[in-house]
C-alpha cells in the first residue's frame, strides 16, 4: 500500500508507525464502514494511480505511460492520526479487506508524539505483559496427609470481611466504654474497583450496576462495586441497591455535594467509604477526567462547568500528614453515617505503605487498607508515570501482611490488593496468590472492561485511548454515537458470567488445600515460585 506521505513535520513514514494497515483493494467494495468507524481517522478514501506495464511491442508503438485509476483506502501518516490497532475497521468490514498489523520493526512514533511540548497521555496499563503473579504456583496439595475436598461436591464459603474485625471480648469492651463497635461487612473477595461515572460511559456503568444487583439478589453472591471518584446518579443514592456500592471520595471531592445532600434520603447505607489517596497507574499523581468526557450530565453530578478538564490534586489539600489524614478524613466520614459504615483509605503501592498501615492500626475508626500496584489501569495518565513509576503489588502486600503478623493484628485489619490482577487472563490464580500472600480480597478494573465489554486495549500499546473519550467499543466514551454500541444488558450478563466462572476456579484452587469455610488468607506455605530471588523476597518456597 502506497504511503504518499506529505513533507509536513507532523507526518512520518508508514514504516515508522507502530501499526500498519493491510488493505486488499480486490476485496474492498468501498462501503465506507471502515473509515466511518475508525476512532482516530487513521484511514481515508483516496484515489490511486497504477502504471500499466506494456509489452515490448506496445512500447515501440507508444512511448507514453498509461495509468489505471481506482479508488481505495489509504492509511494516513500524520502523527495525531496514527493507527492505534483497535481493529474496529476489521470488525466493520463485510469482506475481510482490511486489518491492522503490528509493525515488527522499530516504533519511531514514540519520538514524535510529544507535540507542542505536551507529553503523551494514554489510558490502559503499562506497556509490559510480565507479571510475577503468573509465575506463582500452588504447591501444597492435600491427598493422603490431609483430607482433600471435592470442588464440585463440597459447599464452600468464599467470603471475606471488610471492616475492623475484633474479638467478642474487645467488641464488648468497646461497646461498654464508647457505645459503639466497628462496622463489618461480609463481602465477596473479588471487588469491582473504582471506575467513575464519567470515566466509564453511561451504558457501561449501568451494565455493571445491573450485573452486581443480579449477583446479589438472585445468586446470593455479596459482590461489591466501587464508584470511583465523581459521585454517582442521584437515583442510585436513593435506592436499595446502594448497599452493594462502595462510595469513593478523592482529593477533588467531585460529586460529594450530591452525596452529602442525599444522606438523609438514603434507604440503605453504602457498603463502605473508600478515601482515595493514590492509584497504582500514576502514583503520587492526582486523578484526571479530560474535558472530552465532561458533558452536561457529568458536569451536573460533579458540580462543575461543562467542557473543562477535571484534575484532582495529588493529595487532599486539608491534610499534610498521615496522622492528620486519619484523624480528619476517616473520622469525619464515619461520623457522616453515624459510625455504621466502614471507612478505609486507598493508596498506591510504595515503600511508604508500611507507615500508612502502622498509623491505621492505631486508629479505632480505620476499617482496612486498599493498595493499588504499579500495573493498575487508568483513564488518563502520562506515559512516563505509567511505565516507570510504582511498586509491584505482590511484594507490597507481603510486606504489609508480615508487618501485621509481627504486631498481632493480621486478623484485625484487612488489606485489599489491586493493580494488574488477571492482566494476562489468569484472574483466579492471581487473586488466590495475593490472598495467600496476605490480602483479604482483590480489586479489579481493567479486567472487567476486557471481559464484560470487549475492551481491545492491551499492554502492547494497542488502542488505549480511554482518556480522550473516543473508545471504539463505547466503554469509556460520553459520546452517544459511541456508547450506544454497548448494550448494558449484555454487560450485566457478562459480569455475572465472570463472577460465576471466577468462583468455580477459586474453589478449584482452595479445595486441594482442604479449605472450605474460610479463605486461605496468609497461607503462604501453599505457594512456590521458580525464581530464587523472588522466593526469598516473598518468603515463599523456591521450586524448580
**The three cell numbers locating residue 451:** 471481559
**The three cell numbers locating residue 408:** 498481632
DSSP-derived letter for residue 239 is: S
Contact 337, 273 (CB under 8 A): yes
First to last CA, the chain: 49
Residue linked to cell 480505620: 366
Q: Report the DSSP pairing between strands 415-418 and 441-444.
A: parallel
Q: Among residues 192, 191, 190, 216, which one has the least CA distance to residue 204?
A: 192
Q: Report the DSSP pairing between strands 378-382 and 121-124.
A: antiparallel
**The three cell numbers locating residue 323:** 496522622
Residues found in the chain: 544
Contact 202, 227 (CB under 8 A): no
**The three cell numbers locating residue 220:** 446470593
CA distances from 261 to 55, 233, 238, 270 (A): 83, 13, 11, 14
Helix, strand and coil percent figures for the chain, each rounded to 5: 35, 15, 45
Binding residue per annotation — 86? yes
Torsion angle in degrees (nearest 10) through CA of 457, 462, 463, 468:
100
Q: What sign for the dihedral angle of Cα 513, 136, 500, 238?
A: positive
Binding residue per annotation — 89? yes
Q: Among residues 180, 178, 185, which one has the least CA distance to residue 164?
A: 185
Cα 47 to its chain centre, rounded Å, is 42
**The three cell numbers locating residue 311:** 484534575
CA separation for the pair 360, 460 (Å, rounded): 38
Torsion angle in degrees (nearest 10) through CA of 10, 12, 16, 22:
120
Contact 413, 366 (CB under 8 A): yes
Q: Among residues 89, 88, 79, 139, which one has the least CA distance to residue 112?
A: 79
Q: Among residues 1, 92, 74, which one has the least CA distance to residue 38?
A: 92
Count of other CB atoms within 10 angstroms of residue 284: 14
Contact 331, 338 (CB under 8 A): no
CA separation for the pair 177, 184 (Å, rounded): 19
DSSP-derived letter for residue 366 is: B
Binding residues: 83, 86, 89, 93
Binding residues for [4Fe-4S] cluster: 83, 86, 89, 93
Amino acid at each position: 500500500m502506497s504511503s504518499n506521505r506529505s513533507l509536513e513535520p507532523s507526518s512520518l513514514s508508514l514504516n515508522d508507525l507502530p501499526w500498519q494497515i493491510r488493505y486488499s483493494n480486490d476485496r474492498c467494495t468501498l462501503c465506507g464502514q471502515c473509515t466511518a468507524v475508525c476512532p482516530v481517522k487513521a484511514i481515508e478514501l483516496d484515489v490511486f494511480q497504477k502504471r500499466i506495464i506494456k509489452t515490448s511491442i506496445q512500447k515501440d508503438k507508444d512511448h507514453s505511460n498509461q495509468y489505471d485509476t481506482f479508488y481505495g483506502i489509504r492509511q494516513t501518516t500524520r502523527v495525531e492520526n496514527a493507527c492505534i490497532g483497535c481493529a474496529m475497521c476489521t470488525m466493520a468490514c463485510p469482506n475481510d479487506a482490511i486489518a491492522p498489523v503490528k509493525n515488527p520493526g522499530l516504533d519511531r512514533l514514540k519520538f514524535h508524539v510529544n507535540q507542542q511540548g505536551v507529553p503523551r497521555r494514554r489510558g490502559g496499563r503499562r506497556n509490559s505483559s510480565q507479571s510475577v503473579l503468573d509465575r506463582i504456583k500452588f504447591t501444597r496439595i492435600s491427598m493422603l496427609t490431609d483430607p482433600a475436598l471435592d470442588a464440585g461436591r463440597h459447599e464452600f464459603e468464599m467470603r471475606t470481611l471488610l471492616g475492623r474485625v475484633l474479638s467478642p471480648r474487645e467488641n464488648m469492651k468497646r461497646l461498654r466504654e464508647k457505645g459503639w463497635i466497628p462496622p463489618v461487612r461480609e463481602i465477596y473477595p473479588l471487588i469491582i474497583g473504582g471506575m467513575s461515572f464519567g470515566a466509564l460511559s453511561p451504558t457501561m456503568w449501568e451494565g455493571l450496576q445491573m450485573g452486581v444487583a443480579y449477583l446479589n439478589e438472585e445468586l446470593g453472591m455479596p459482590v461489591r462495586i466501587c464508584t470511583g471518584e465523581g459521585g454517582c446518579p442521584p437515583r442510585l443514592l436513593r435506592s436499595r441497591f446502594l448497599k452493594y456500592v462502595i462510595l469513593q471520595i478523592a482529593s477533588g471531592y467531585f460529586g460529594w455535594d450530591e452525596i452529602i445532600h442525599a444522606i438523609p434520603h438514603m434507604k440503605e447505607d453504602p457498603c463502605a467509604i473508600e478515601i482515595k489517596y493514590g492509584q497504582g497507574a500514576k502514583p503520587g499523581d492526582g486523578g484526571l477526567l479530560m474535558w472530552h468526557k465532561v458533558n452536561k450530565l457529568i458536569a451536573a453530578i460533579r458540580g462543575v462547568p461543562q467542557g473543562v478538564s477535571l484534575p484532582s490534586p495529588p493529595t487532599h489539600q486539608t491534610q499534610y500528614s498521615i496522622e492528620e489524614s486519619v484523624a480528619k478524613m476517616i473520622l469525619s466520614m464515619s461520623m457522616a453515617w453515624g459510625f455504621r459504615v466502614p471507612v478505609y483509605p486507598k493508596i498506591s503501592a510504595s515503600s511508604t505503605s508500611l507507615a500508612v498501615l502502622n498509623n491505621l492500626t492505631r486508629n479505632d475508626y480505620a476499617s482496612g487498607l486498599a493498595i493499588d500496584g504499579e500495573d493498575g489501569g487508568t483513564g488518563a495518565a502520562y506515559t512516563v508515570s505509567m511505565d516507570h513509576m510504582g511498586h509491584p503489588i505482590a511484594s507490597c502486600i507481603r510486606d504489609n501482611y508480615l508487618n501485621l503478623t509481627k504486631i498481632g493484628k493480621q486478623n484485625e485489619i484487612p488489606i485489599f490488593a489491586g493493580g494488574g490482577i488477571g492482566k494476562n487472563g489468569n484472574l483466579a490464580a492471581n487473586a488466590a496468590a495475593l490472598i495467600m500472600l496476605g490480602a483479604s480480597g482483590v480489586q479489579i478494573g481493567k479486567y472487567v472492561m476486557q471481559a464484560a465489554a470487549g475492551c481491545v486495549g492491551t499492554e502492547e500499546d494497542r488502542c488505549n485511548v480511554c482518556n480522550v473519550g473516543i473508545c471504539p467499543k463505547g466503554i469509556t466514551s460520553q459520546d452517544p454515537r459511541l456508547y450506544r454500541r454497548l448494550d448494558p444488558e449484555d454487560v450485566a450478563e457478562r459480569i455475572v458470567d465472570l463472577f460465576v466462572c471466577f468462583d468455580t476456579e477459586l474453589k478449584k484452587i482452595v479445595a486441594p488445600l482442604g479449605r472450605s469455610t474460610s479463605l486461605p488468607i496468609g497461607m503462604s506455605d501453599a505457594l512456590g515460585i521458580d525464581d530464587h530471588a523472588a522466593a526469598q523476597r516473598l518468603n515463599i518456597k523456591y521450586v524448580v
